Amino acid sequence: MKSESFRLLEDDWNAVRDLASMFRYFVRNRKYGYVDRLANAYNPRVAEITIREALREARSAFDQNEKVHLPSEDNVKRVIELINKDLSIAGLLAALSLAFPEKRGG
């Protein structure tokens, strides 16, 4: 099944990058499960559940004073909507999570 290709707007890219920053926490800690599940999601629901589970763990880590980025609620909603339109966005999110450069100085 071929997905319909569409162009991401700047706000869409920013939302995907925002979530990639959160997933980068898991990559830094060698917890690749969420990123692997995103990359291999076979339907949008699997990707959405993966995002929600990762958010729950990231919030927990944040509450324990770990250095983890928490994306905005609006960006989470936007990315889930994008994935529902085009599942390949989940793969893009996974790839950015693996390749996302770490910020210098912190």
In terms of Cα–Cα distance, which of 29, 28, 26 is closest to 38? 26
Give every CB contact of residue 106 below 8 A, 6+ residues apart in sequence: 67
Q: Which domains, from first to last, does the chain contain?
A: 10-99 (1.20.120.1610)
pLDDT tens digit sequence for 58-106 = 999 999 999 999 999 999 999 999 999 999 999 999 999 999 565 544 4
Q: What is the pTM of this model?
A: 0.86
